[in-house]
């Protein structure tokens, strides 16, 4: 029987040995907290997250751009699944594309000394003329350390354990289930694992590329795809990423601080996360409707990038966070004084 990992706080709710075989989270592509389509962020060699939870992806065009691919939800899915995901090239000169997932060390350390199997459904959507598709399983060279290049055939910061190459003739335009099995995992697998599906080529072209569904990584041999309750899968995803609810505050009059000084004069919003994060997360403030005169912030600094009326100060830990709206300008909005803000808590690998 496949070895079971309890993936955190669900140890007491497991009724049989078949639960939590799948070390991938959101392998059925049911959870899309960021939206049902998106371009990787950050657009860099390390890849990014933009749509389907826990799935990192990236495209590379002409040696310059990393913003030439989207990951989009589709309802044309493998048997008995509601959704799958498709990679779409947005640049005619796309050279490389990759999608995969990094599994943290707490969910891999018990696999050392055993083989694992990565299984999934794929469907070719574009022609992909003359191109090979590579499936790869690697281990991280340092504990929970994000590899430096998500597109290279030999990724920086990871060591390849096993690969499988699908030729164009093997890559069907209908849903087909594929798998790859490793030999016994080395000690390095305790640092974390990474699975990737990628195409390294030239002039892949624009348009739909391929779709993926029902992805599973498990100890031992391939078994039927594990289906976990939606609420359970959402909890697992939110340990890595969660967007808080919008907090709205209205004031009848402006509480003006000293002009040119930044300190909390307009209020504070506090959130308790629905799920405790795996580490202290990076926090990004986002705005809803507001009459403060601002609409967006620099996600790297949480500072306003339009109509500098105020500023945010954010802080938090694995359990929750708070944000202050601070007066730093004498350009006041009109009454009533409203701000709508939320926070994205990001604890991805």
Residues of the chain scoring pLDDT < 50: 1, 4, 6-16, 252-265, 293-295, 304-309, 327-331
Q: What does CATH list as the number for 11-229? A: 2.60.120.260
CA distance 216 to 219: 10
Phi/psi at 311 (5° precision): -150, 160
Which residues fall within 8 angstroms of residue 113, CB to CB, at 6 or more apart?
184, 185
Q: Hey, do 11-229 and 241-346 end up sharing a CATH topology, with the first three levels equal?
A: no
Tell me which residue of 121, 123, 120, 88 sits closest to 204, measured CA to CA.
88
Cross-strand pairs, 268? 324
pLDDT at residue 204, as a whole number: 79
- Give the pLDDT score at 151: 77
**Rama region for 164: left / alpha / beta (φ>0; ψ in -120 to 50; rest):** beta
Three-state SS string over 126-169 comes to CCCCCCCEEEEEEEECCCCCCCCCCCCCCCCCEEEEEEEEECCC
Helices (H) and strands (E) in the chain, counts: 1, 20
* DSSP code for 81: -
> How far is the C-alpha of 119 from the C-alpha of 224, rounded, in Å?
10
Angstrom distance (rounded) from CA 234 to CA 204: 34
Q: Tell me, what's the pLDDT at 173?
A: 92
Q: Give residues with Cβ within 8 angstroms of 11, minimum separation 6.
A: none
Q: Write the CATH number of the domain with boundaries 241-346.
A: 2.60.40
Extents of the domains making up the chain: 11-229, 241-346
| Predicted local confidence at residue 159, as pLDDT | 95
Closest CA to 243 of 349, 343, 347, 348: 343
Q: Rg (Cα) of the chain, in Å, rounded?
A: 22
Write out pLDDT tens, residues 12-54. 333 345 679 999 999 999 999 999 999 886 667 778 899 999 9
Q: In this predicted model, what pLDDT tens digit does every residue of 247-273 receive, in sequence order?
A: 766 654 444 443 333 333 456 678 899
- Separation between Cα atoms, residue 262 and residue 259, nearest integer Å: 8
């Amino acid at each position: 029987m496949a070895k079971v990992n309890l993936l955190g706080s669900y140890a007491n709710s497991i009724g049989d040995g078949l639960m939590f075989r799948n070390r991938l989270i959101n392998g059925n592509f049911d959870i899309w907290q960021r939206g049902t389509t998106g371009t990787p962020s950050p657009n860099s060699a390390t890849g990014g997250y933009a749509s389907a939870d826990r799935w990192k992806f990236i495209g590379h065009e002409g040696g310059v751009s990393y913003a030439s691919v989207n990951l989009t939800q589709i309802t044309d899915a493998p048997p008995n699944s509601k959704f799958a995901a498709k990679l779409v090239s947005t640049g005619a000169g796309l050279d490389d594309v990759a999608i995969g997932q990094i599994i943290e060390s707490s969910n891999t350390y018990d696999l050392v000394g055993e083989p694992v199997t990565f299984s999934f459904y794929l469907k070719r959507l574009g022609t992909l003329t003359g191109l090979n598709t590579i499936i790869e399983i690697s281990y991280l060279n340092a504990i929970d350390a994000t590899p430096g290049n998500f597109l290279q055939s030999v990724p920086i910061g990871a060591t390849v354990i096993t690969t499988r190459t699908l030729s164009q003739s093997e890559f069907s335009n209908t849903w087909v289930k594929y798998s790859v099995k490793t030999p016994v995992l080395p000690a390095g697998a305790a640092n974390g694992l990474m699975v990737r599906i990628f195409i390294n080529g030239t002039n892949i072209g624009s348009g739909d590329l391929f779709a993926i569904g029902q992805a599973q990584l498990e100890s031992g041999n391939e078994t039927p795809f594990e289906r976990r309750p939606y609420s359970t899968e959402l909890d697992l995803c939110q340990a890595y990423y969660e967007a808080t609810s919008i907090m709205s505050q209205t004031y009848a009059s402006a509480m003006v601080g000293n002009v040119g000084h930044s300190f909390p004069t307009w209020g504070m919003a506090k959130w308790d996360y629905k799920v405790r994060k795996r580490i202290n997360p990076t926090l990004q403030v986002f705005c809803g409707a507001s009459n403060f005169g601002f609409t967006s912030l620099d996600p790297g600094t949480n500072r306003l990038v339009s109509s500098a009326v105020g500023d945010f100060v954010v802080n938090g830990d694995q359990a929750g966070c708070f944000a202050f709206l601070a007066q730093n300008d004498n350009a006041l909005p009109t009454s009533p004084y409203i701000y709508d803000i939320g926070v994205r808590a990001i604890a991805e690998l």
